[in-house]
């Protein structure tokens, strides 16, 4: 059911019956290492390119989710995924390996919740019984495309963020046991005319604020409805900017309730400057850390607001501003859904 102009409410409560999370060596030394299903010691994953390594991460996350669900791969009707790399090749090549009908999408670091929202909508409308939804990123592949190859050793300002190496995947179903997806708010493009690709948090913060405000208004709920409102990868700078903007718009969210995946995945002292980023950031932290807390009964409701900067290397070279977007998905503790 459409509520307002941007929010879907899922009356049939699609269920997340299983998840898969995979990370690299930097993530293995991070703050939530115990929430991963699989961690690698090698950035290359025994591949001959970082892009192929990213493909392997996505394949492993999907395979892990299917294995944990105890259903057969042939029962999954669709795979919805995307990533940062040109023409989303890691996702597309992973789809070839997995062999499930595929919908490729791109919303940069907002891809995790875009794919989950679309999957939930299809499941809710009974357009499928099972859908794999996920995304991936690789630090070295993203650096090579958007900035400079790691070997170049280019210096970064304190506003820059560290792209996560990993993949996160959720398997949604019409019936089963697990957390349920209750609603999703599809974001609008917000462009504040920022052109600095080393300040993604500041650029994306207004988009997060716009989507959070819209979600609360269209669902007619207060921020206190959720245990946590979780942004994707705003980092230190974007989080502070968005909290300030929310306060100015009359939306009061307690600081302890407002958390960021980019500030959750790594531990204090890791050299990530303003925090983490990348499509895998919100996917891993949501499908690993926060859903584990939900399964333990420590939290009941979360709103995950994944944020994305929709620029390209070419648009930055042409000094175009950075259009940004945020998609919000509410996930609540569930039980057997029949």
* CATH number of the domain where residue 193 is located: 3.40.47.40
Same domain, 198 and 156: no
Token reading at 221:
């709920």
Cα(89)–Cα(97) distance, rounded to whole angstroms?
Answer: 12
**What's the pLDDT at 337?**
44
In a domain, 258, yes or no: yes
Same domain, 137 and 212: no
Same domain, 64 and 94: yes
Taking the model in full, what pTM does it have? 0.95
Same domain, 127 and 224: no
**What's the pLDDT at 157?**
84
Q: Give start and end residues of each alpha helix (H) in the chain.
A: 25-28, 50-69, 89-98, 111-124, 139-146, 200-219, 235-248, 279-284, 291-295, 313-317
The CA R_g of the chain, rounded to the nearest whole Å, is 18
pLDDT digits (tens, 9 = 90+) for 267-315: 999 999 999 999 999 999 999 999 999 999 999 999 999 999 999 988 9
Separation of CA 145 from chain center: 20
Residue 150 sits in which domain range? 2-173
258-260/180-185 β-pairing: unpaired
pLDDT confidence band for 36 (50 / 70 / 90): very high
Same domain, 71 and 86: yes
21's CB contacts (< 8 A; 6+ apart) are 35, 36, 37, 38, 61, 64, 166, 167, 168, 169, 283, 284, 287, 288
* Backbone phi, psi, residue 217, to 5°: -70, -45
Same domain, 16 and 119: yes
Same domain, 226 and 325: yes
| Number of domains within the chain | 2
């Amino acid at each position: 059911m459409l509520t307002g102009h941007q929010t879907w409410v899922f009356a049939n409560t699609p269920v997340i019956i299983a998840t898969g999370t995979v990370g690299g060596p930097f993530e293995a030394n991070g703050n939530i290492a115990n929430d991963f299903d699989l961690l690698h010691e090698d950035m290359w994953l025994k591949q001959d390119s970082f892009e192929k390594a990213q493909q392997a991460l996505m394949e492993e996350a999907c395979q892990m989710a299917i294995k944990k669900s105890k259903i057969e791969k042939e029962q999954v009707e669709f795979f919805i995924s995307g990533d940062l790399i040109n023409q989303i090749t890691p996702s597309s090549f992973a789809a070839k390996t997995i062999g499930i009908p595929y919908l490729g999408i791109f919303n940069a670091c907002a891809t995790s919740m875009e794919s989950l929202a679309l999957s939930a909508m299809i499941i809710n409308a009974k357009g499928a019984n099972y859908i794999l939804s996920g995304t991936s990123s690789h630090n070295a592949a993203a650096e090579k495309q958007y900035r400079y190859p790691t070997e170049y050793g280019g210096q970064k300002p304190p506003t820059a963020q560290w792209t996560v190496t990993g993949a996160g995947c959720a398997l949604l179903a019409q019936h089963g046991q697990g957390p349920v997806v209750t609603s999703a708010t599809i974001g609008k493009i917000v462009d504040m005319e920022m052109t600095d690709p080393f300040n993604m948090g500041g650029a994306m913060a207004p988009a997060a604020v716009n989507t959070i405000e819209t979600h609360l208004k269209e669902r007619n709920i207060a921020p206190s409805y959720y245990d946590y409102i979780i942004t994707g990868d705003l980092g230190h700078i974007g989080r502070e900017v968005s909290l300030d903007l929310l306060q100015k718009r009359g939306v009061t969210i307690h600081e302890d309730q407002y958390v960021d995946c980019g500030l959750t995945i790594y531990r204090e002292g890791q050299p990530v400057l303003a925090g983490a980023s990348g499509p895998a950031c919100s996917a891993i932290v949501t499908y690993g850390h926060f859903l584990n807390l939900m399964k333990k009964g420590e939290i009941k409701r979360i709103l995950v607001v994944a944020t994305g900067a929709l620029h390209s290397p070419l648009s930055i070279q042409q000094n175009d501003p950075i259009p940004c977007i945020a998609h919000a998905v509410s996930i609540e503790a569930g039980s057997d859904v029949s």
